[in-house]
Every structure is written in C-alpha cells, then in structure tokens.
Amino acid sequence: MRLKNKTVLVTGASKGIGATLAIGCAREGADVILNYNTDRDGAEQTASEIEKLGRKTLLIGADIAKVSEIDKMFQKARETFSSLDVLINNAGVTGWGSAFDTTEEKWDMVLDTNLKGPFFCSVRAAEWMREKRTKGTIVNVSTNCAALGVKNLVAYATSKAGLHGLTMQLAVEFGEDGIRVNTFAPGPTNVERNLRDDPNYREVWGSVVPLGRTADPEEMTGPAIFLASEESSFVTGQVFYADGGWSSSGSVPKEYMDLTAKKNR
C-alpha cells in the first residue's frame, strides 16, 4: 500500500473525481479527511465507502473560496488527526461563459475557488507539515483546458493556468522543508456534471481525443497516487496531463461548448 498509515485531505470530495481520489487513497492505506461545500449527502457516501475499507475518515464542510472557512477546516482537522501527509486540492467550479458574459461576480467566484482556495489550503497544509516535520506532498487537480484557449471557459481556464504557476512557486517555497507540490490535469472525464450537461458527452468528446474516448474518474487515481506517494519522491513543481492526448491535438467540439455555456448561463 503506497499511502499506508498516511493522512490525506481531499477538497471537493463529495462527488466526481474528488470522491474517486478519496476512495483511491483509502485503498492505498490512507485515512482521509473529506472536504465538501454543499453536498453533505455525497460526502457521507464517500465516507461510507472509505469506512468499508477499514480506514478512518472525517467530514468537514467548508467553502474553500473563503479563507476564514479554510482556517476552520484545518483547525477541525487538527483536532482529530495528529499530522497531515497529503493535501489534494481538487475542489473547483467551472463558471461557464464567454469573456463578454463574464461578470465580476462570476470571475471572483471562479478565481477565489480555483486559485485562491488552493493557495491558502496549501499554505495551511505546509504549516502543519513543517510543524510536524512531515515531508508531505501537495497535489493539485487542474484541467487540460489550461493548456490552450477554450471558448466559453475564460475564467475557468485562466484560474487553472494560474494554478500551474502556483505549483512552481510553492514547490520552490516549500522545497527546503521537503514538501513537494505537483499538479496533474485531467482531460474529458465521465463525471456526473459532464454527463448531465450532455448525455452524448462520451461520444462528443471521444471524437476529439486522440485515444478515441473519454476517461472514467477511476483513471485519475493513478496520477494522484503517484504524485502523493514516495514513487515520485524526486518530483516537484511539475504539471502533467492525464487527458488521452487531448492537449497535444487541441481539437474542441464547438457546438458542445456553445450549447453547454448557454445551458449553464
């Protein structure tokens, strides 16, 4: 087990890739702190799966767009767990809309959640790791949309591109304490949100991915575990794409982008 007796905090762990990563960490022997914002039921389902694996878990509701709630989350986590080994910054929002449709409110909501939140979560995690002399790891979950321009996702893609820059900066800042910081960027993935936006999501996006298909959430567990574990002990400040080659081709289904933006306006 690559994370045996480790403690992992996963933000946005109530559904989708976050829930899958949390369960995957438990399968590798970790106890898991589950952050959620509004979906308590989803977080409880994730916790139930982790408990079936014989690992401890703790649910903490917090909006990571707000530093005050991040601080409370880490305070509560410290009351239950003596140390933290891994932080997975997964929570994020999409914020569909063209540049002309993006309001200040939407821009702030997306950037606060996707960039400010991971920064302050990372700092609080690193403080805890440094205090306990834990050579921990921070894993950021990004998107292939940060690799090139994608219509109707201006705030989202910008926030994730910022996350890539933050990864390098924090790797340098935290390196002297033995804390590693890396990012992986999933491509089109069959999570509930995407399938709800378009029942033909697999076919539409599979047609533009070089491997000819979309990913299942479970396929993101391998990259996360690799970066969280000692298997990547000399890797820090890096960003790589788990996207079936999408970022190499950059082809986008334009009709899907327009219809989904309109649906999520």
Q: What percent of the chain has pLDDT over 70?
A: 99
Whether the predicted pLDDT of 228 surpasses 70: yes
Verify whether residue 241 is a known catalytic residue. no
Q: What is the pLDDT of residues 144-176, one digit of tens each?
A: 989 888 889 999 999 999 999 999 999 999 999
To the nearest 10°, the Cα dihedral for 226, 155, 190, 210? Answer: -80
Domain assignments of the chain as residue spans, ordered by start: 7-263
Q: Which is catalytic among the residues 36, 156, 201, 241?
A: 156
Tokens (6 digits) for 214: 């979309």
Cβ neighbours, 10 Å, residue 221 = 19
Is the Cβ–Cβ distance between 77 and 9 less than 8 Å? yes
Q: What is the pLDDT of residues 86-127, one digit of tens each?
A: 999 999 999 999 999 999 999 999 999 999 999 999 999 999
Is the Cβ–Cβ distance between 160 and 174 less than 8 Å? no
Split at pLDDT 50, 70, 90, the class of 261 is confident
Determine the pLDDT at residue 254. 66
CATH class of segment(s) 7-263: alpha beta
Is the Cβ–Cβ distance between 59 and 47 less than 8 Å? yes
Q: What percent of the chain has pLDDT over 90?
A: 87
Backbone angles phi, psi at 138, to 5 degrees: -120, 125
